Structure 1
Amino acid sequence: MRKRFAALTSVCAGALTVVLAAPAVAAPTADTIVTFTVEAGTLDIAAPPGPIDLGSAPPGGTLTGPIGPVTVTDTRGGATSTWTATVYATDFTAGSLTIPFSAVEYWSGELDSGTGGGTFIPGQLVEADAVPLGGTPATAVPAFSHTGGTGGSTASWTPRLIVNIPITAQVGDYTGTVTHQVA
């Protein structure tokens, strides 16, 4: 009888080993926690470096032409994406000859492209709204602005200049600088 009991115990122990050694059931999901940080970016403006040739006209004439595109990129990531771009110019000179910055008018035109929520507002939507340029950052005229929205925004427009050549202007190749700024 002992032999049978020993044999039976041996068989049961082997079966128990087989049951205990069975593979585990795989979990149907596995979570991984991931973190990252959104950093504040910058508020930037870009315009073509030029030179941009508006052509030629006689004293008393007018020249009109595009000087863009101008692009504002706001990646500050704030609760609002509000900014204003302004523009001013130097006098236009040819050696000792000068055509004052105030003889040059600016109009922004409409938005070429924009991203982000909020409202994009042109400084001067149409040519009839053109304004004479100021000569310093403090006397700069509005070019474009953005209000509202969250996070960031981008805006591009193609402004135009109207050069009203004074009747007293002398012949020459005049050069000046038009500066866009954003805050």
Structure 2
Amino acid sequence: MRIHYSVAAAAAMVVAGAGLAGAAPGDTTVTFSVSGGSLAITVPTSAGLGSALPGNSVSSQLGNVTVTDTRALLSAAWTASVTSTSFTTGGATAPETIPASAASYWSGTASATTGTGTFTPGQATAGQAQALTTSRTAYTLTSGTGNNTATWNPTLIVAIPGGAVNGAYTGTVTHSVA
């Protein structure tokens, strides 16, 4: 009888332990947010194109232009544009002014990109350079998702009119993104 009692006590302990091990699981709902940032463009502060005689052209790369999109969008897209002012020297009289239409721009291909989407230069080659008579597309992103960046080093060409006068000419090339 003593053996029978020990088996019954052991069975009771197993049943009691099984009840603890079979407890229902507890679920925890976890939430968090993914923050969106901004769309920004950075450009070089200055660029020198060199010098040339009237009737010739000056040309040089401007330096890295970078679009940074940290908006974390499901459907990301942006267009970077470029414009130019006239270039002037001295008193900015007619012979001291080279119009923006004398400036041509080509973006070239990106030197670096991050993120997903289709990155497209406005003008991939020198043969596609466009006069800055109006705002031009410098670069675009389409079909993007999440954060992304693109960097390119555009080239500016200025055709110096035959009637231009001697001097250091200054103008402003403006890149923007939307």
- Same fold, judged at TM 0.5 (above): yes
Mapped partners of 1:100, 1:171: distance in 2: 16
Opposite residue 174 of structure 1, the aligned amino acid is: Y
Deviation string for 1:1-53 (max 9, x for gaps)? xxxxxxxxxxxxxxxxxxxxxxxxxxxxxx98764321121110010111x11
The one of 90, 94, 97 equivalent to 1:95 is: 90
Superposed, 1:1-150 pairs within 5 Å as: 35-50=31-46, 52-96=47-91, 97-134=96-133, 139-150=134-145
Q: Bigger CA drift: 104-113 or 88-97?
A: 88-97
Deviation string for 1:134-153 (max 9, x for gaps)? 3xxxx310100000121121
User: Which residue is 1:15 aligned to?
Assistant: none
> What TM-score, normalized to structure 1?
0.77
Mapped partners of 2:28, 2:52: distance in 1: 69
Q: CA deviation at 1:109?
A: 0.3
SS of 1:116's partner is strand
SS of 1:60's partner is coil
SS of 1:155's partner is strand
SS of 1:149's partner is strand
User: Which residue is 2:3 aligned to?
Assistant: none
Mapped partners of 2:65, 2:45: distance in 1: 11
User: Which residue is 2:22 aligned to?
Assistant: none
Bigger radius of gyration: 1
SS of 1:102's partner is helix
Q: Which portions of structure 1, spanning 4 or more consecutive aligned residues, are displaced by more than 6 angstroms?
A: none
Mapped partners of 1:63, 1:170: distance in 2: 15
Opposite residue 131 of structure 1, the aligned amino acid is: Q
User: Which residue is 1:178 aligned to?
Assistant: 173
Q: Bigger CA drift: 34-43 or 98-107?
A: 34-43
Q: CA deviation at 1:68?
A: 1.8
Mapped partners of 2:160, 2:119: distance in 1: 32
In structure 1, list runs of 5 or more residues that go unmatched: 1-30
Structure 1 residue 164 corresponds to structure 2 residue 163: no
SS of 2:144's partner is coil
In structure 2, list runs of 5 or more residues that go unmatched: 1-26
User: Which residue is 2:10 aligned to?
Assistant: none
RMSD (Å) for aligned C-alpha atoms? 1.8
